[in-house]
Amino acid sequence: MSKIEFVTKRNGTVVPFTPQRISNAIYRAAVAVGGRDKETSEKLTLQVIEYLEQNFSSIDYPTVEDVQDAVEKILIENSHSKVAKAFILYRDERTRMRSGRKEQTIQPSQNIPWAKIWQVLDWASSHDLHTLERYNQRIRNGEMHDIIRDSEIFYEEDIKIAARMILERRDLVKIALITGPSSSGKTTTTIKLGNILQQNNIKLVTLNVDHYFFDLEDHPKDEFGDYDYETPQALDLELISRHLVDLIDGKEVRIPYYDFKTGKRQLNHTPMKLNANEVILIDSLHGLYPALTQGVDENRKFKLFLEPLLQMKDEDGKYIRWTDIRLMRRMLRDSAFRALDPESTLTHWHYVRTSELRSIIPNINHADIIINSAMPYELSIYQPKLLHFFEKWPAKFKGDPLREDAYERSFRILSLLQKVEPIEDDSIVPSDSLIREFIGGSTLDYH
């Protein structure tokens, strides 16, 4: 047992010292530069602990910054310069994220598609859906069916535009990349886009990148010790890129098979070859991550990015956050289809969001088209399904230094849901709506 029992967080809170977090952080940095040696990560962790014990007493607790400084020192002294650089960059990124709220008040983010935002805001204003107060009033006026109709049409029009863009480049495009952060509606959008292309003799053939996961034991872990499936480094990016190049060149490849029950993959498992009228479909969080398609000519790719770009202000004049919409969607989907309770989804969201900000959202402006997947009416559908959960979480997580993220998100969404007009009967949601991807009951085939 280490002589160091506690560390002091940035806000002054004292929490237990957990050596495994150091090992996880070192391993994550190693994975980011192509390394997967857990044994070395653990040996380096022991050196970090030894250094901390020599410089801090059982009374004089080190701070989080002290621990991170020690990690950098040990990595550099052991000639792991690439890993040290990755760790330093990640540390700097987290620092910028913590101060991001202040910076955003004076500097426009490069990760926001301003032209698309203006289009969505203009639509919301013209339909009297740009504030929660106006939206609620329309619900009270009995206009829910009109809101649903107009919202669905707005979304479907974007998909038709995407299909036309592919058809105009049908002689060049061989890969359709459908991407976006978690619960943005990729599956429904892919099906609808595929149906239009099928009518024009173009067939989307799925390359399931989930089969390219490394063995679970080689995955990096987050700060709570959970395996992180959200990071692109969990995938064999080099093999994916090589297979894509070969497929476009007309060669046959053998796709690996990943068994989620055992956490093991089998290489050279399933043969795949592309026919003349077929386009490879990659429906993935990391579709626009450069390393995934690094060997493929840009002209061969069509890149579609999804995000629920809701433009609606709450009663305090603040825009409802897109990430909160996606969190509620994922809670409902995880509960209905993955046997995962909503609280688990909430407490895991911190690393989902971290990976999005690092590896997914920064690529939004590289897309050929950005589709808004938000349906203003979904707020009323989710309210009766989730309100009772959010009512208990702020009290449960308040004051817990390890669950600050869960507390902040649950408190914010509770405040929102308490102001939304609820719709108990979800039968009014169209059977092929994107919302059905999360609440169930869709007539679309998701298998």
Check pLDDT > 80 for residue 107: no
pLDDT score of 13? 77
| More confident call, 402 vs 388 | 388
pLDDT mean over 373-401: 96
Report the DSSP beta bridge partners of residue 14. 8
Question: What value does the mean pLDDT of the chain take?
Answer: 88
Query: How many Å apart are CA 67 and CA 17, to the nearest integer?
Result: 10
Q: For each of the domains in the chain, give its residue range(s) and CATH number, in order of start.
A: 6-103 (no CATH), 115-439 (3.40.50.300)
pLDDT mean over 85-96: 70
Query: How many Å apart are CA 400 and CA 242, to the nearest integer?
Result: 46
pLDDT mean over 103-127: 78
Band (pLDDT 50/70/90 cuts) for residue 195 is very high
Nearest to 187 by CA among 201, 206, 174: 206
pLDDT score of 102? 44
Check pLDDT > 60 for residue 313: yes
Check pLDDT > 50 for residue 106: no
Q: What is the pLDDT of residues 226-240, one digit of tens each?
A: 677 778 888 999 999
Phi, psi torsion values for 121, nearest 5 degrees: -65, -40
Query: How many Å apart are CA 439 and CA 426, to the nearest integer?
Result: 9
Band (pLDDT 50/70/90 cuts) for residue 103 is very low
